Amino acid sequence: MPTALALGDCWLADRTVVTDAGSPSGFRFESSYQKVDSIYTSLLSRETDNPEAQAAIVPRLVKLLPIQKTSPRLGLLARERKTFVGWPSISGDTVAYIPYPAALGGWTPKNVPSFDRVIAANRARLRSLAMRWSRLDPRNSNAHETLAVILEASGELQAQPVSALKEIELARFQLSNGGITDADNRFLRELRLGNTHVRLLVRVGRFSHAGLLADTLLTLTPPHKLDPEKLDGVMDLLGGLAALRGRPAKLMSFHELLSDKVRVRLKSEEIIALPPLLGADVLRLTTYAIFGIRRDSIAEITQRISDNVAALFPQSRVEDVRAAILIRPLTLAAPGAGPLITRRLPPGDNAFISALQALAGGDRRTAKTHLANLERQRAEFAPGEITIDAVYGESWLKAAVGDTSRAIAQLDNAFRSLGASLPAVLGDPVQAASLVRAMLLRSRLATDRGDSVTALSRASAVQALWGKGDPDVVASLGFARLR
């Protein structure tokens, strides 16, 4: 079994893309995920009652088979340093991944109905495998965690005989009973399982419980010699929890360890690492932006980044690098700092940025046109498949141009589908903070319309999550409007 597993793992890790005139895109992946699946499945069929084999193979199948719409296969055409994205689709009885250049719209699935069928089949198949593993080895924390992740993807969050919440609670219980003596691994497991538990509590609307558990997790002490390769993931998990609790100071303390790891993607799809001086400012700017605080500091940091880019990069690259750095934080900052901040960005084909810039220029009609274009682009996706940062930004912008009804509809659809939304809701600080700010926006819109029931409901959720946050975050909430 070890030799076959190693071969499957090698093919699974292979991102090589080659040209192929017979492919619809003109390219194909050099290794076949279908063959990897065959290897793992064949091994598993011979070891159906062996818990150790289940523990070795089922997690590999979870990694291989997408159960979310955010799970494409990434590829690389090495000689041209081009990034490719491949989405699964069904061709006959075969699942195929066809790579498309990321720079030419590869991030959008080409056949959404086919992709949906692949995901549904994968969820059902993996659910069955994970159920069998957890029954064969009920004391295995990994088995319960794996089942929880699959049940979450399927929307089985609570109340069923088997649910994601019950399984993650079992996973945490089994971990607490011991079995892991290595400090690094134990810390990582406690943090990951706890983060998943918090996320599930948020998705079912148990905000007070989620906040208390998040506070407990934020007291965990990382090992002094944590593996550097695991640092980014740990900081994302801790940062998401800090953002959920309204604690930018805590988030920035985590960011101090990441200033030399910040990377941005240029229009050419080239990914570059930023000097630590720039990296620190980007992280600080993003933190202020997602919490909607320190408007003056946002302007100052933006100017400093602009000046430092001009000093640190060749003139021919300055505009490209500056735009790559600022697009994300400044679009996140617009609801708090105002749309004028986006005038620092170059015009382009991004409908949301174009709408913000039109509003900054006082042209609400053009802003509405860009927002309508954006809605058409999203037509293939259910509300729960749109990340909450996008929902919040677009809803705020709709309200700002006077389309309050559409803003309310978008927010309400997102909240109704929170139980079925993508697990990325706590995947990073941006998502966590955007969720709370979206609830705050909905509360304010309800107040303006005299809808006290909705206003108080959303304000209560915000209070549960950010009510004991850092002073500048609490001051930004403005609950006096609700009384």
Provide mean pLDDT across the span 238-254.
Answer: 95
HSE, side-chain direction, 13 A CA sphere, residue 84: 25
Q: What are the domain boundaries of the chain?
A: 2-179, 278-346
Higher pLDDT, 72 or 126: 126
| C-alpha closest to that of 343 among 295, 351, 331 | 331
How confident is the model at residue 196, as a pLDDT? 94
- Residue written as token pair 């029931």: 453
How confident is the model at residue 355, as a pLDDT? 96
Please state, in angstroms and rounded to a whole number, the distance separating the CA atoms of residues 348 and 476: 32
Measure Cα distances from 218 to 42, 183, 198, 251, 430 in Å: 42, 17, 12, 10, 17
How many CB atoms are closer than 10 A to CB 381? 13
Residue 483 in this model has a pLDDT that exceeds 60: no
Model confidence pLDDT, tens digit, residues 120-175: 899 999 999 999 999 999 999 999 999 999 999 888 999 888 999 999 999 999 99
- Residue written as token pair 């699942």: 95
pTM, whole model, 2 decimals? 0.89
Model confidence pLDDT, tens digit, residues 188-229: 899 999 999 999 999 999 999 999 999 999 998 877 777 777
**One-letter-per-residue 3-state SS of the chain:** CHHHHHHHHHHHHCCEEEECCCCCCCEEECCCHHHHHHHHHHHHHCCCCCHHHHHHHHHHHHHHCCCCCCCCEEEEEHHHCEEEEEEEEEECCEEEEEEEEHHHCCCCCCCHHHHHHHHHHHHHHHHHHHHHHHHHCCCCHHHHHHHHHHHHHCCCCCCCCCCHHHHHHHHHHHHHCCCCCCHHHHHHHHHHHHHHHHHHHHHCCCHHHHHHHHHHHCCCCCCCCCCHHHHHHHHHHHHHHHHHCCCHHHHHHHHCCCCCCCEEECCCCCEEECCHHHHHHHHHHHHHHHHCCCHHHHHHHHHHHHHHHHHHCCHHHHHHHHHHHHHHHHHHHHHHHCHHHHHHCCCCCCHHHHHHHHHHCCCHHHHHHHHHHHHHHCCCCCHHHCCHHHHHHHHHHHHHCCCHHHHHHHHHHHHHCHHHCCHHHHCCHHHHHHHHHHHHHHHHHHHHCCCHHHHHHHHHHHHHHHCCCCHHHHHHHCHHHHC
Please state, in angstroms and rounded to a whole number, the distance separating the CA atoms of residues 55 and 49: 11
Model confidence pLDDT, tens digit, residues 366-424: 999 999 999 888 877 777 778 899 999 999 999 999 999 999 999 999 998 877 666 66
Please state, in angstroms and rounded to a whole number, the distance separating the CA atoms of residues 127 and 150: 6
Please state, in angstroms and rounded to a whole number, the distance separating the CA atoms of residues 78 and 87: 20
Please state, in angstroms and rounded to a whole number, the distance separating the CA atoms of residues 481 and 293: 18
| C-alpha closest to that of 240 among 74, 476, 435, 58 | 435
How confident is the model at residue 424, as a pLDDT? 66
Residue 479 in this model has a pLDDT that exceeds 90: no
Measure Cα distances from 266 to 98, 263, 319, 325 in Å: 24, 10, 10, 9
Residue 103 in this model has a pLDDT that exceeds 80: no
Which one-letter amino acid corresponds to residue 269? Answer: E
- Calculate the CA dihedral of residues 224, 227, 229, 235 and round it to 10 degrees: -30
Judge contact between 43 and 57, C-beta under 8 A: yes
How confident is the model at residue 241, as a pLDDT? 96
Q: What Rg value do the Cα atoms of the chain yield, rounded?
A: 23
Measure Cα distances from 135 to 97, 138, 139, 280 in Å: 33, 5, 9, 47
Confidence of residue 111 (pLDDT cuts 50, 70, 90): low
Average pLDDT, the chain: 89
Model confidence pLDDT, tens digit, residues 303-325: 999 999 999 999 999 999 999 99
Judge contact between 313 and 321, C-beta under 8 A: yes
Provide mean pLDDT across the span 100-104.
Answer: 79
Please state, in angstroms and rounded to a whole number, the distance separating the CA atoms of residues 182 and 175: 13
Beta-strand relationship, 263-265 and 73-77: unpaired
Measure Cα distances from 157 to 19, 189, 198, 245 in Å: 43, 21, 12, 22
* Helices 33-45 and 2-13: angle between axes, nearest 10 degrees: 160
Kindly state the percentage of the chain with pLDDT values over 70: 94
Provide mean pLDDT across the span 253-268.
Answer: 87
| Tokens matching residue 233 | 């993931």
How confident is the model at residue 425, as a pLDDT? 66
Model confidence pLDDT, tens digit, residues 34-61: 899 999 999 999 988 899 999 999 999 9
Please state, in angstroms and rounded to a whole number, the distance separating the CA atoms of residues 322 and 266: 9
